[in-house]
Amino acid sequence: MDDLLQSAMESALDGAVAPVVLDPTTSANAMIFALITLLGVGMAVIYVPLRLFLTLTARSRRLRLLQRIRQLREELGKPVGSA
């Protein structure tokens, strides 16, 4: 029983000491990482200017709407004959 346990431990250790490939340029994981990174950068390059544009245009539309509301309120406050 001890011999069996000893041989199992030795074979497990031999398997753990097997050479590990640490060169990231030779693995498919590096290609996947580079692809996902490029995709993320591309999305950021498109998203950030688009988000800024949409935010600025929404604010300008909101400002114009508020100015129009103020103008209409002022017109409603004036007497009817003094237009």
- Confidence (pLDDT) at 50: 94
Report the greatest alpha carbon distance in the chain.
Answer: 112
CA 70 to chain CA mean position, Å = 40
- Confidence (pLDDT) at 11: 76
- Confidence (pLDDT) at 6: 82
- Confidence (pLDDT) at 57: 94
Block mean pLDDT (10 aa), the chain, length 83: 80 60 68 93 94 93 94 86 56
Write the CB contacts of 24 (distance below 8 Å, at least 6 apart in sequence): 30
- Confidence (pLDDT) at 52: 92
